[in-house]
Structure 1
Amino acid sequence: QQLVQWLVQAEKRFRGTLDFAYALILLCEEATLLRYSSDHFDINWFPADFLIIEQGEAANSLYLILTGTVDVIREEADGTLHVLARLEPGAFFGEEGIAHKKPRNAHVVAAENVTCLIFSPGTPTAFLGRGEEAHMTEFTDVNGQDESYGMGATACLDVSPYIQQKIAAIAAHRSQYAVEADTFPLPILQELMGQEYFVRVFPTHGKAEEEKTLNEFRFLRL
């Protein structure tokens, strides 16, 4: 949602570089791994002339073009088609429907073979159809429940005032993380990384209890 709001509030359509796209993929991987975000992301390839978004369908996903180009086409009530724009690598599409919680207001068609980074609020379920009558709002995670369920965090710290220092430290290691300190807007980083969660672990008491824990650990490994 933070990414969508940033895009719709921009004065002109944002177009990122290849470095931005790579950094965004890296951020998605780390945010998902560390459970900063429960959003689902995937990279998908579409052949030329493929209807990536159909006008009138539910707006559930945000797309970033990695390679290729797409045409944004508005269909009038009488079937007349108007090409509104051609989008190139680094451009997002699909943000308006999500931001305003309205159906798609145009078709998006692959003008050539296209690869996109796709963001969804959760893991998409099996394909249920397309168009205005389709029900595409159902998402689930791999286990069929919220990923945060069962994490058991006992403490939460607000570290949002220190996000800039954290990103600067990450950017200092460009050999591992190709991220610049100003690649992403601060509100997005604060939303993703502004909270740190901890689980309190109590030490075991006595040698017998320690051996029991060790045996249980060995059993779990087997």
Structure 2
Amino acid sequence: MLGVFAHPDDETFCAGGTFARYAACGADIMVASATRGEAGQIRDARVATRRTIADVRGQELRTACSFLGVRHVRLLEHHDGRLESVGHSTLVDEVAALIDEFRPDVVVTFGPDGGYGHPDHTAISYATTDACVRDGAGPRPLRLYHSYFPQHGVLLMERLAHWLTNQHVGSPASLDFVHALLLLAEQTSTMRFVQDHSEVRWYPKGAYVIEQGEASGELFLIMSGAADVLQERECGTTDHLRHLTAGEFFGELGVTSHGLRSAHVVAAEPLSCLVLGTTEPQKFAPRGQATVDRPMQPGSAVAAAEDSTATACIDVTDFVTAKVDALCAYRSQFCLQRGMLPDSLMRELYGQEYFVQVLPERRPDTGLWVSG
């Protein structure tokens, strides 16, 4: 198998579980990255600087691939963010040379949309596809697959609320956990693994985050600052129920020790929160008990039907641990550690990988494969 992608970590998100599954069965696998990912974010200054990030991400790629059972790693050394300027024919020639050398039975790359429109992803998709089909490219691979990301109906906030309410919640989560969850929410929503709307909100001291009696359809994780949980009695007095600090959750399903339908949550000092919700908040939505009550139960979200354009779904449930270990190898990109998030959530998010078979072509009217 040959995987051709644009940046280190693309291979893990697109096909990490599939590579691990087939490597365990004895497949010889090569992963090629067109760039070292040097234009990407640096999520941890202890790991890399802008001067060292290219070498760091190259080593992270090798480490991740070792967790996946990938034996061969190639870096094509193009500039991150500039694949479109390389020249299509140049990229095609380089990928064709890899195919000639490695002689794979299967090639995997991005689909034409690049997963979510990233121009480097789309450039490597078109180049790899053309390298597989052009005349004179050497031994053509038996099958070409595009990775595919169908829209799922999973709600990350719902799964987290279920996890939190079914375990003993002791001390607040670590800042590494807060950072990891922020990045997970960002990445999984971008790749359409979850349907949540996620954002970071800031509240000044004294602002009401949730009002007593309000129907909370959002899950809040405090990133910095603090909040007070206050209960207002009919006689007009107010009881202080709890002080919340960084790393604590509140909101959907009453994750705190007191149901928030019967209490205010007020910023005790300038407060920033990661907020997960079912929909993008409305600018003119009413507050207080005027909100529409739409309670949800844990586990009630039903995954969206598989898109008909996906021709293969690979069950990699038994290899999610390897995929998570590979993600954890990217310390410059993610602050994730194994066991930081519930195994059930990671299996649900990453337990299936989807692909569209491009070669041999499938005749739509018969469903038969047509050899080229």
Q: TM-score range by the shorter chain?
A: 0.7 to 0.9
Equivalent residues of 2:217, 2:252 under 8 A apart: no
Per-residue Cα deviation, 1:30-49 (whole angstroms, up to 9, x for no partner): 11121110111000100000
Give the alignment partner of residue 67 of structure 1, picking from 221, 224, 230.
224
Q: State the distance in 2 between where 1:150 and 1:79 align.
A: 54
- 2:200 corresponds to: 43
Q: State the distance in 1 between where 2:255 and 2:308 align.
A: 29
Equivalent residues of 1:2, 1:191 under 8 A apart: no
- 1:168 corresponds to: 325
For residues 26-105 of structure 1, the aligned pairs below 5 Å read 26-97=183-254, 104-105=261-262
Equivalent residues of 1:64, 1:90 under 8 A apart: yes
2:357 counterpart of 1:200:
yes
- Paired residues in the alignment total 195
- 1:184 corresponds to: 341
After TM superposition, the structure 1 stretch with the greater mean CA deviation from structure 2, 26-35 or 45-54, is 26-35
Per-residue Cα deviation, 1:63-101 (whole angstroms, up to 9, x for no partner): 0011100000112232321111101111111143489xx
Q: State the distance in 1 between where 2:233 and 2:176 align.
A: 38
| CA 1:116–1:103: 2 relative to 1, 3 Å | closer
Equivalent residues of 1:128, 1:136 under 8 A apart: no
- 2:312 corresponds to: 155
| CA 1:47–1:198: 2 relative to 1, 3 Å | same
| CA 1:200–1:78: 2 relative to 1, 3 Å | farther
| CA 1:122–1:196: 2 relative to 1, 3 Å | farther
Equivalent residues of 1:49, 1:110 under 8 A apart: yes
Deviation at 1:160, TM superposition (A): 2.2
Which protein is richer in helix relative to its size? 2
Give the alignment partner of residue 174 of structure 2, picking from 8, 14, 17.
17
- 1:215 corresponds to: none
Q: Root-mean-square deviation (CA), in Å? A: 2.7
Deviation at 1:153, TM superposition (A): 2.9
Counterpart of 2:317, as a letter, is S
| CA 1:115–1:58: 2 relative to 1, 3 Å | same
Counterpart of 1:120, as a letter, is G
Q: State the distance in 1 between where 2:215 and 2:255 align.
A: 9
2:305 counterpart of 1:121:
no
Equivalent residues of 2:207, 2:266 under 8 A apart: yes
Counterpart of 2:214, as a letter, is E
Q: State the distance in 1 between where 2:218 and 2:195 align.
A: 14
Give the alignment partner of residue 112 of structure 1, picking from 269, 285, 303.
269
Tell me the TM-score normalised to structure 1 length. 0.77
Structure 2 residue matching 1:127: 3-state secondary structure: coil
Runs of 5+ consecutive residues of structure 2 not aligned to the other structure: 1-157, 295-303, 362-372
Considering only CA atoms, is the larger Rg found in Structure 1 or Structure 2? 2
Q: State the distance in 2 between where 1:132 and 1:94 align.
A: 15
Q: State the distance in 1 between where 2:230 and 2:314 align.
A: 46
Tell me the TM-score normalised to structure 2 length. 0.48
Q: State the distance in 1 between where 2:349 and 2:237 align.
A: 42
Q: State the distance in 2 between where 1:78 and 1:153 align.
A: 60
| CA 1:149–1:109: 2 relative to 1, 3 Å | farther
Q: State the distance in 2 between where 1:70 and 1:161 align.
A: 41
Counterpart of 2:320, as a letter, is I
Counterpart of 2:312, as a letter, is A
- 2:368 corresponds to: none
Q: State the distance in 2 between where 1:135 and 1:96 align.
A: 15
- 2:20 corresponds to: none
Equivalent residues of 1:61, 1:98 under 8 A apart: no
Counterpart of 2:352, as a letter, is Q
- 2:162 corresponds to: 5
Identical columns (%): 39
Q: State the distance in 1 between where 2:355 and 2:218 align.
A: 31
